[in-house]
Amino acid sequence: MADAILEVFRGNQEVGAAKQYTVPIAPGMVVLDALHYIQAHLEPDLAVRWNCKAGKCGSCSAEVNGKPRLTCKTRMDALPTDKPITVYPMKSFPVIKDLVTDVSWNYRVNKKIPPFSPKPKTDWKMYQEDMDRVQEFRKCIECFLCQNVCHVVRDHHKKEEFGGPRFFVRVASLEMHPLDNVSRVKLLKDELGIGYCNITKCCTEVCPEEIHITDNAIIPLKERVVDEYYDPIMKLVRKIRGAPKPD
Amino acid sequence: MTNQTKYETHEHDVLIIGAGGAGLRAAIEGLAAGARVAVVSKSLLGKAHTVMAEGGIAAAMANVDKADSWRTHFRDTMRGGKLMNNWRMAQLHAQEAPERVRELEQWGALFDRTSDGDILQRAFGGHTFKRLCHVGDRTGLEMIRTLQDRGVQMGFDVFMECTIIRLLTDGKRVVGAFGYWREQGRFVVLKAKAVVMATGGIGKAWRVTSNSWEYTGDGMALAYDAGAELLDMEFVQFHPTGMVWPPGVQGILVTEAVRGEGGILRNKEGQRFMEKYDPKRMELSTRDVVARSIYTEVREGRGSEHGGAYLDISHKPAEYVKQKLPSMYHQFKELADVDITKGPMEVGPTCHYMMGGIKVEAETAASSLPGLFAAGEAAAGLHGANRLGGNSLSDLLVFGRRAGLGAAAYASKAPAASIDDAQIAEAERDMLAPFDRGEGENPYTVHRDLQEVMQNLVGIFRVEEDMTKAMGELEKLKARAARVRVEGSRLFNPGWHLSKDLKSMLTVSEAVTRSAMARKESRGAHSRIDFPKLDEQVWGRQHNLITRDGAGMKLQQIPVDAIPGELNELLADEK
Ligand SMILES: Cc1cc2nc3c(=O)[nH]c(=O)nc-3n(C[C@H](O)[C@H](O)[C@H](O)COP(=O)(O)OP(=O)(O)OC[C@H]3O[C@@H](n4cnc5c(N)ncnc54)[C@H](O)[C@@H]3O)c2cc1C
Ligand code: SF4
Ligand code: SF4
Ligand code: FES
């Protein structure tokens, strides 16, 4: 069997460099298999996250040949072998070690989102046709690849004022839940900074679950924000009714 | 007493080790009972095994088959487990599962629906009725996300990427745990009045397994080390359908939902071989039967190209397959270049689930060691000799909740804990020793050899001679594991982490092998070539029990509890 050369980032936030490893290729092999080969045979302290090895847990995210991917779903035979395959940690998160990054920011954002709150006196009847669109959002495996590619995070470092596509997907799953009864629109505007998103769709492109993040989650949510805060007619209606003006 | 300055120390009422379904459900209940709760996990929150569960949660909701009831679910569970189950657990489980599923829905989970707007249920092996509540083939993801978000909102403290390496006791009861942060390799002391073990299973001791790196039997080994009893360790479930090709994906699960939705098994001659082994239930026979059937077909030369069987669902409309089994569709397409809407998958048995584990009381999930509770795959009893598909997720909810309640109640009465520094010092010394050795083997090599031993000698079919050999090999492996050397620093170092996980795997492997040698019969998942029949007179009446005896392992037998009259009648009732 032929060999592949992997160029893997080794190091931490301060110091680090890519290192090359030669790995024998087996049929159907994925990049994560190659990383495991390095651990088992060459350098046991290579840090990688993984759990399911089947694209279900979202642990194994990295940048393979510059593209954000799940390493357990990236086939070696789909990559050119005439040059080294590069494997780097996700760029938008601080490196802990090698391919392992500090993704704790995501868990902090999640905490800000009010949970599902059912309507009073719910009878818990729901119909498949009302759920299909929400179930799409619930497929998210929290690989954070979308968070990683979004330029608002990646290039503009707005982690404090921006929630990121993953959490727009999560808010959408709650807002569009047929039985939910609270509004997260103010949160979207003020704390999750949905206004920073300029619909580049980079997040949708990398989502391994093929969630239509921009079209199905972000755009409808942006519309809700607009309706609530910026639509002049809605504003007028509110004024006439004497409702307090939103800030 | 404690050297507080030396280690980062935290104190809670209830410490939950494990953030899968069982641990999270326990945490929610502990919080609801007013306890201060901490949850620890080796991986990030939301990545535990539970996230991978595919097929569904078994609960007799009777949304699809109106005739279903807890009694039928109880009977199916007991029959599936070949009556080795703790009958009271099986009863509580069947009675409480529907309420636990409804609760998930009330916390925001979105299950697939019937046309009446209720939770849809699908057929699964060994279940008389359509009973599995599901979300396509990603039920576990829905469940873990719902529980995780609920717990986070209620406010538990989470210690993620933190591995527990020792339970701390004051001689009589459990008073906390000692572990390390994977990230920095720093040690941490977690004091608690009660501890819930929800660490899952042991599959990583076998070469072909559906389990992840986390499944090294830590919880069972730590409980055993601290003095708790382990029950029926011989009952290891080999799921009939794991992927067999290509090599890198060998063992990855192919959900039973494929068969639940009508998938057919064939051998290389095109014969639907389940007709021979279980003509009544065919592909939806219990897992032990289907796994042995596939294994037998392969051994007798009728296997598929890469040594498995063919599983075919392509007779169903492609759109239906993609809607009901989306992740299987993608898994085969992307990892094996097979389009399951057009042709068959190749499948074979894979080490999947541990029925045995920490012995617990049915009502409270208390172990034999005061202050220690256990739930989920780490605990034993509910499933007896063989687990029915879908009964694990429901187990996590029913007994996770009970463990949370039990632990919180215990904690409310327990006095403050005092920690024994000597136990910590010993654990620290053992953990750091592999760095100090000038030479020694790589832990990965020892792990690979252990997997070969368990795969080849204590696998799906067992025989005295093989297991005697396995015991000898395990002794050698223990000696090698005690001398492994790790390189690099303490920062996120998987080789170092494995050096400890290896010890847990060796403890549970030995417990499995000893128990399997003792049980001289074939029952459920435990199949002996030398004792191919059920032995109701002797082994139908006793469990294997493992305890620590100094440095050695002690095996004894305890009687199976008699099933009370009215429940017994349910079992007799042949339908
Ligand atoms: C691929 C697959 C599909 C399945 N499908 C189904 C299904 O459809 N229906 C069904 O009923 N069952 C299914 N099962 C079985 C079921 O998913 C598992 O048995 C169940 O999820 C186990 O849950 P748990 O809460 O006991 O443990 P887990 O979810 O595995 O969680 C264990 C937790 O313990 C932590 N832990 C372990 N050791 C330590 C330590 N030393 N220190 C700190 N933390 C530790 C881990 O990090 C993890 O958080 C499936 C299993 C697999 C592998
Ligand atoms: S569409 Fe919006 S959220 Fe997605 S990557 Fe672009 S800016 Fe970020
Ligand atoms: S939305 Fe898609 S890309 Fe983003 S975290 Fe979820 S699964 Fe990953
Ligand atoms: S290891 Fe789970 S998604 Fe890759």
Of A96, A88, A175, A173, nearest in space to A139 by CA = A173
The arithmetic mean of pLDDT across residues B509-530, rounded, is 97
- Which CATH number belongs to the domain containing residue B514 in this structure? 1.20.58.100
Residue B573 lies in a domain: no
Is A25 an 8 Å CB contact of chain B? no
pLDDT over threshold 70, residue B136: yes
pLDDT in tens, B58-88: 999 999 999 999 999 999 999 999 999 999 9
Instruction: State how far residue B109 is from chain A, nearest Cα, in angstroms.
Output: 9
Cα–Cα distance measured from residue A220 to residue A229, given in angstroms and rounded to the nearest whole number: 14
CATH number of residue B278's parent domain: 3.90.700.10
**Is the link from the previous residue into B246 a cis peptide, with omega within 30 of 0?**
yes
Q: What's the pLDDT score for residue A230? A: 79
**For residues B128-145, average pLDDT:** 96
- Tell me if B436 is assigned to some domain: yes
Ligand 2 pocket test, pick from A196, A199, A212 with the greatest ligand atom count within 8 Å of Cβ, gives A199
Helix (H) or strand (E) holding A3: strand A3-11
List C-alpha distances in Å: B489 to A201, B365, B486: 40, 39, 9
Using the structure block, give the residue that is written with the tokens 């009045």.
B193
Nearest 10 degrees: Cα torsion B142, B148, B154, B160: 180
Measure the CA–CA gap between B40 and B510, rounded to whole angstroms.
26
| DSSP code at position B82 | T
Instruction: Give the number of the atom of ligand 3 that is nearest the alpha carbon of residue A142.
Output: 5
Confidence label for B1 from pLDDT (cuts 50, 70 and 90): very low
Whole-number pLDDT of residue B163: 98
The radius of gyration of chain B from alpha carbons, rounded to an integer in Å, stands at 23
Tell which CATH classification among 3.40.50.1980, 3.30.1490.100, 1.10.10.10, 1.10.1060.10 matches the domain A104-241.
1.10.1060.10
The residues, ordered by sequence, that sit 6+ positions from B306 with a Cβ below 8 Å of its Cβ are B244, B245, B346
Q: How far apart are the first and last CA of chain B?
A: 63
* Domain's final residue, options B309, B325, B349: B349
Of A46, A57, A134, the CB nearest to B110: A134
Residues B433 and B544 in one domain: yes
Q: Does the C-beta of A212 come closer than 6 Å to ligand 2?
A: no
H-type alpha helices, B213-364? 218-226, 257-260, 274-277, 287-299, 318-324, 326-336
Average pLDDT, chain A: 93
- Average pLDDT of the segment spanning B453-464: 96
Query: What is the pLDDT, as a whole number, of residue A247?
Result: 41
pLDDT of residue A236: 62
With cut-offs at 50, 70 and 90, classify the pLDDT of residue A246: very low
Residue B248 pLDDT? 87
Q: Is the pTM of this model over 0.80?
A: yes
User: pLDDT (tens digit, 9 = 90+) per residue, B238-278?
Assistant: 999 999 999 889 999 999 999 999 999 999 999 999 999 99
A27 touches B at CB < 8 Å: yes
Of residues B315, B310, B312, the one with CA closest to residue B267: B310
A240 pLDDT exceeds 90? no
For residue B395, give the ligand 1 atom closest to its CA: 11
- Residue B489 CA to residue B184 CA, distance in Å, equals 9
Let me know if residue B177 belongs to a domain. Answer: no
Higher-confidence residue of A125 and A246: namely A125
Kindly tell me the number of DSSP H helices and DSSP E strands found in chain B. 16, 20
Q: Which domain, by its residues, includes B317?
A: 241-349
Mutation target to probe the B interface, by most B beta carbons within 10 A, among A10, A30, A53 is A53
Residues 161-190 of A with CB under 8 A from B: 174, 177, 180
Contacts of A40 in chain B (CB under 8 A): 442, 444-445, 448
Structure confidence at residue A235 as a pLDDT band (50, 70, 90): low
pLDDT, position A2? 87
Examine the domain organization and report whether B450 and B554 are in the same domain. Answer: yes
Look at residue B559 in the predicted model and tell me its pLDDT: 98
Cβ-contact A191, A240 below 8 angstroms: no
The mean-pLDDT minimum among A37-51, B3-17, B318-332, B392-406 falls in B3-17
Q: Kindly state the average pLDDT of the residues B465-486.
A: 97
Report CA torsion sign: B481, B485, B489, B493.
negative
Q: Please indicate, yes or no, if residue B455 is contained in any of the structural domains.
A: yes
Contacts with B52 from chain A: Cβ below 8 Å: 51-52, 54, 56-57
The answer to whether the CB of A61 is under 6 A from ligand 4 is no
Give the total number of structural domains in chain B: 2
Residue A87 tokens read as 């494997």
The span from the CA of A205 to the CA of B129, in Å, is 42
Q: Where does chain A hold its CATH 1.10.1060.10 domain(s)?
A: 104-241
For residue A200, the ligand 2 atom closest to its alpha carbon is 6
Q: Give the Cβ contact number of residue A90 at 10 Å.
A: 22
Nearest CA to ligand 2 atom 3: A165
CB-based contacts of B139, cutoff 8 Å, min separation 6 = B53, B54, B55, B56, B57, B132, B133, B393
Q: Quote the percentage of chain B above a pLDDT of 90.
A: 95
Q: How far is B262 from chain A (nearest CA, A)?
A: 22
Q: What distance in Å separates residue A10's CA from the closest CA in chain B? A: 12
Please give the C-alpha separations between residue B183 and each of A37, B216, B217, B323, B422, in angstroms, as whole numbers: 22, 19, 21, 39, 25
pLDDT band at A234 (very low <50, low <70, confident <90, very high): low
Q: Note the pLDDT tens digit of each residue in A207-222.
A: 999 999 999 999 999 9
In the numeric block, which tokens belong to residue B126?
Answer: 């060994």
**CA of A211, nearest ligand number:** 3
User: How many angstroms is it from B492 CA to the middle of ligand 4?
Assistant: 18
Do residues B38 and B15 touch, judged by C-beta distance below 8 A? yes
Interface test with A, best of B54, B64, B110 (most A CBs within 10 A): B110
For residue A104, give how far its alpha carbon lies from the nearest alpha carbon of chain B (Å).
9
Mean pLDDT of B345-351: 95
Q: Is the pLDDT of residue A94 over 90?
A: yes
Q: What is the pLDDT of residues B191-219, one digit of tens each?
A: 999 999 999 999 999 999 999 999 999 99
Q: Considering only CA atoms, which of A179, A184, A180, A181 is closest in space to residue A220?
A: A184
CA dihedral B54, B202, B292, B472 (to 10 degrees): 170
Beta-strand pair B162-169/B174-181? antiparallel
Range list of β-strands (E), B155-290 = 157-160, 162-169, 174-181, 187-197, 230-231, 236-243, 264-266
B486: its two tokens = 């790790």
Q: Choose which residue among A67, A72, A106, A144 to substitute to test ligand 3 binding: the one with the highest number of ligand atoms within 8 A of its C-beta.
A: A144
Average confidence (pLDDT) over B10-39: 98
Give the rounded percent of residues in chain A with a pLDDT score beyond 90. Answer: 88
Site of tokens 């382990």 = B230
Tell me the ligand closest to A72's alpha carbon: 4
Mean per-residue pLDDT, A12-22 = 96
| Closest-CA residue of chain A to B254 | A54
For tokens 């050695």, the residue is B552
**Does the complex come out with an ipTM higher than 0.85?**
yes
Residue A243 reports pLDDT greater than 50: no
Give the span between the Cα atoms of B339 and B320, in whole angstroms. Answer: 14
Q: Which CATH class is domain A3-101?
A: alpha beta
- The whole-number average pLDDT for the span B290-317 is 95
Residue A1, pLDDT > 80, answer: no
CB of A10 sitting under 6 A from ligand 4: no
Ligand 2 site-directed mutation target among A155, A202, A212, most atoms within 8 Å of CB = A202
Last residue of a domain, one of B332, B349, B366: B349
Positions of B marked active-site: 239, 259
> Does ligand 2 have an atom closer than 6 angstroms to the CB of A201?
yes
Contact: A49, B444; criterion CB under 8 Å: no
Closest Cβ–Cβ partner in B51, B153, B331 for A57: B51
Give the pLDDT mean for B404-428.
Answer: 94
Question: Is residue B523 domain-shared with residue B439, that is, in the same domain?
Answer: yes
Strand positions, DSSP E, B355-471 = 357-358, 372-374, 461-462
